[in-house]
């Protein structure tokens, strides 16, 4: 780090017991850094759960919502609904879901109202 004049190490080990875990910097007061598994889960017509993606990396790619495309490739049709975090509910993703008849559920966008706080 000294020779390269840098303060960061890519993919550094933060846990000896679980070296594959990566920290996620959230910037929250209570817990500024979080750890954990991230996964995408789908449930088919037979009510069977399928893990589409599993990772310990802090992935945050709100630009695209790939799961409906994966579902259509596998089953031949788009899913009836998608439950997504607020970060995935972009204008582009909402438009795509509306055009393809997909109900996009999740937390409301924007700042919470004074009454809900």
Q: Per DSSP, what are the bridge partners of residue 104? A: 82
Task: Return the residue matching tokens 């509306």.
Answer: 98
- Please tell me whether the overall predicted TM-score, pTM, comes out greater than 0.95 for this model: no
pLDDT for the residue 57? 72
User: Which residue's structure tokens are 């009510």?
Assistant: 47
Q: Is the pLDDT of residue 96 over 60?
A: yes
For residue range 4-35, list pLDDT tens digits in order: 888 877 777 777 777 777 777 777 777 777 77
Return the closest-CA partner of residue 96 out of 115, 72, 116, 112: 72
Q: Which CA distances in Å does 82 have to 2, 7, 69, 116?
A: 47, 40, 12, 25
| Beta-bridge partner residues of 54 | 39
**Three-state secondary structure string covering 22-77:** CCEECCCCCCCEECCCEEEEEECCCCCEEEEEEECCCCCCCCCCCHHHHHHHHHCC
């Amino acid at each position: 780090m000294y020779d390269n004049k840098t303060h960061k190490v890519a993919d550094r080990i933060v846990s000896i017991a679980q070296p594959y875990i990566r920290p996620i910097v959230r910037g929250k007061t209570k817990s500024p850094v979080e750890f954990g598994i991230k996964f995408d889960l789908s449930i088919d017509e037979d009510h069977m759960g399928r893990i589409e993606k599993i990772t310990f990396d802090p992935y945050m790619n709100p630009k695209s919502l790939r799961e409906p495309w994966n579902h259509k490739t596998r089953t031949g049709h788009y899913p009836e609904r998608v439950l997504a975090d607020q970060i995935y509910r972009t204008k582009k993703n909402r438009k795509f879901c509306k055009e393809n008849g997909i109900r996009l559920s999740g937390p409301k966008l924007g700042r919470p109202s004074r009454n809900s706080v």
